Structure 1
Amino acid sequence: MIVTVTPNPAWDVTYHLERMIRHGANRPASVEGRAGGKGVNVARVLRSLGVAVTAVAPLGGATGERIRADLAAADIALTAVPVAGETRCTTTIVETDSGGATSLNELGPARTAREWALVVAATAELLPEASVLVLSGSLPPGVSVSGYAELVTLARAARVPVLLDASGPALSAGVAAGPDVVKPNADELLAVTGEADPLRAVARLAGTARAGTAVVASFGPEGMLAGTDEGWWRATPPTSVRGNATGAGDAAVAALARGLAEGGPWPDRLRDAVALSAAAVAAPMAGDVDGELYRSWLPRVRVDVVEPPR
């Protein structure tokens, strides 16, 4: 069973319209809402792939109850941690004309030290049954930047592999604790390393981690770059996909988590991550994937060996 932890879950609302008019009236062609947050999206993708998964999330207020009901309807196992603050909402505006997406992400309510301790305790209870622990998304206000590092240390003590998908100081602190895989995107990688060259940026981030941590960086339509103890590879998609890129990174994390659990070769893991990420862009909502596109892309993703920087 893969366990995902979403410290800052959300009720995601997605609007689809031809193009957004700034400072004017917009009439979406469709509006959809569902339980979200990065770790929840990862759990949803894994569930669609038939992988056993449990999501851990602090939930509060009416929005929290809505998320509980939505995940139950989707048959996604949930360990909910009751908290006082109302769970946040996020909004994504997808423009079908350009294929671009604009997100409005609330910070979320502040968490007390006791509430965070409950999240840590709920995660610890699941570790004996976990094949992989996925830590994904932003840390809410009130939680120390070392929050993910605390969970990484907990999992390492339980001998459970960890995949970390975070940003900023939480990413830096989490990487230093030694997760098995860390997956920044291009902007997150630049922010924590200050290095514009992808190869050097991956090497610099890997240099701040314990031995054995693999850095897998995603670059949108340009694919993924992985620096590991077993080798370095670049995975390139056959073409680009228009649509809602909001959940693309979460789909890639789901593929990498499955690969970490199964222990397959790195080139296969990267091929799977790129194909599944593209399939998420082609789907209308974050957490969904286009199965037909995924299956057609999987054999077409190119994976090349690259030399690490000297």
Structure 2
Amino acid sequence: MILTVTPNPAIDVTYRVAALEPGETHRVQAPASRAGGKGLNVARVIAQTGGAAFALTTAGGASGLRLAEDLEADALPSELVPVAAATRSSIAIVDEAAGETTIFNEAGEPLGTAEWKALHDAAERLAIPAATIVGSGSLPTDAPDGFYAELVAIARRRGVPSVIDATGRALLLAAEAGATVLKPNRRELADTVGADDPVAGARTLLDAGAGLVLVSLGAEGMLAVATGAEPVGVRLAQPLSGNATGAGDAAVAAVASLLAEGVDDPERLLRRATAWSAAAVLAPLAGELDAAYPEFEARLVTL
């Protein structure tokens, strides 16, 4: 079982427009709405690809009830820690003409000390049967920077790998705690370490204690940087257009799935992560892969 931990879930609302024209009025069909947040998207992809995932997250207010109902309707195994703050919303607007997606993410209201402890204690308990632990997504306002580092520590105590997808100090502390794999995108990495060169930025995280860093480069593919090895990058021969909202989550799901099987070769992790990430771009909603996802690895070329 792969345990995904999402401290800052959301109700994902996706609108599709023929062409987005800033400053203009758009008439749209009713949006797609579902329980989201990066860790929940990871769990959905793992389930779609035949793996066993368990999603730990929080839920509060009327929107939290909607989130709980959606997870139950989808039969996604989960545990929800009740919190006072209402679950936030995330709005995605897919511009079909441009093949681009614009996203508006609410920050998420602060959690109380007792609520953070309840989430931590649940992660510690659920880690017992887990083969891999994933910590993924933004943290709510005023969150403890070390929360993901605590997840890494839990994984290390259980002797299982950890995958963290975060940014800023939370990402640095996860590296220092010895995360098995870190998966920032290029912008998140630059914002975290202050280096525009993704290889240099990744080496900063390796020097801090991370085992492997995978850096998403958008349409340019993905880069794997490991200690004592030359960086390796792969991409599709031709870039895809679509909804890239859940591409990074699909990459994390790929990495977690292979680690749970005992596969830790950086190039194999990179190739599967890149392939699933690309397949997510062609899916209508985050947390899904195009049905042809098994074929994508064969279409990759080396950077």
TM-score over 0.5 for the pair: yes
Contact 2:224 2:267 in 1 (8 A): no
Matched, 1:297 2:296: yes
Do the aligned residues in 1 keep the contact of 2:206 with 2:227 (CA within 8 Å)? no
Partner residue in 1 for 2:169: 169
Shift in Å, 1:224:
1.0
CA contact (8 A) 1:236 1:274 kept: yes
Query: Which position in structure 2 is the counterpart of 1:221?
Result: 219
SS at match of 2:238: coil
Please state if 1:261 is matched with 2:260. Answer: yes
Take 1:288 and 1:28, find their aligned partners in 2: how far apart are those partners? 23
| Counterpart code for 2:253 | A
The AA in structure 2 aligned to 1:233 is V
Q: TM-score if structure 2 supplies the norm length?
A: 0.95
What percent identity do the matched residue pairs reach? 43
1:236 corresponding residue in structure 2: 235
Residue 287 of structure 1: CA displacement? 0.6
> How far 1:302 moved relative to its partner?
2.5
Q: Which residue of 2 aligns with 1:288?
A: 288
Which region of structure 1 is more displaced relative to structure 2, 111-120 or 164-173?
164-173
Q: How big is the shift at 1:30? A: 5.0
d(CA) in 2 for partners of 1:290 and 1:230? 35
Q: Distance in 2 between matches of 1:198 and 1:148?
A: 22
The residue identity in structure 2 corresponding to 1:237 is L
Q: Is the Cα contact below 8 Å between 2:133 and 2:151 reproduced in 1?
A: no
Aligned partner of residue 31 in structure 2, secondary structure: strand
Are positions 1:47 and 2:57 aligned together? Answer: no
- 1:251 aligns with 250
- CA distance in 2 between counterparts of 1:94 and 1:248 reads 14
Q: Which amino acid aligns with 2:254?
A: A
* Cα separation, 2, equivalents of 1:115 and 1:239: 46
State the match for 1:118 in structure 2: 118
Partner of residue 307, structure 1: none
TM-score, normalising length from structure 1?
Answer: 0.93
Asked if structure 1 preserves the Cα contact closer than 8 Å seen for 2:222 and 2:233, the reply is yes
Shift of 1:29: 4.2
Q: Output the aligned Cα RMSD.
A: 1.4
Structure 2 unaligned blocks of 5 or more: none
1:187 maps to which residue? 187
- CA shift for structure 1 position 23: 2.3
1:208 to 2:208 alignment: yes
C-alpha deviation, 1:120, in angstroms: 0.3
Q: Distance in 2 between the 1:71 and 1:146 partners?
A: 27
Q: Which amino acid aligns with 2:216?
A: S
Letter in 1 for 2:112: T
Could you tell me whether the CA contact under 8 Å between 1:90 and 1:104 is conserved in 2? yes
**Aligned-residue offset at 1:202:** 1.6
Structure 1 regions of 5+ residues with no counterpart?
305-310
In the alignment, what sits opposite 1:308? none
CA distance in 2, matches of 1:169, 1:201: 14
- Output the CA distance in 2 between the equivalents of 1:41 and 1:230: 32
Does the CA-based 8 Å contact 1:112-1:143 persist in structure 2?
A: no
Instruction: Note if contact 1:271-1:303 (Cα within 8 Å) is conserved in structure 2.
Output: no
Look up the equivalent residue of 2:2 and give its one-letter code.
I
1:16-63 Cα offsets, whole Å, 9 max, x none, are 001222222111245100010000000000010110010000111111
Contact conserved, 1:270 with 1:303, CA < 8 A, in 2? no
Instruction: Check whether the contact 2:247–2:277 (CA below 8 A) recurs between aligned residues.
Output: yes
Aligned-partner Cα distance in 2 for 1:160–1:67: 29
Residues in 2 aligned to 1:120 and 1:48: alpha-carbon distance in whole angstroms? 27
- Structure 1 residues 284 and 30: alpha-carbon distance in aligned structure 2, compared to 1, 3 A threshold: farther
Asked whether 1:96 is paired with 2:96, we answer yes
Q: Give 1:96 deviation, angstroms.
A: 0.1
Encode CA deviations 1:258-305: one digit per residue, 9 max, x unaligned. Answer: 11112333322211111111111111111111022x23322121347x
Q: CA-to-partner distance for each residue in 1:86-129, whole Å, 9 max, x for gaps?
A: 11111000000001111111111210111000000111111110
2:64 counterpart of 1:59:
no
User: Is the 2:17–2:95 contact (alpha carbons within 8 Å) kept by the matching residues of 1?
Assistant: yes
CA contact (8 A) 1:238 1:297 kept: no
Measure, in 2, the Cα distance between the counterparts of 1:229 and 1:262: 22
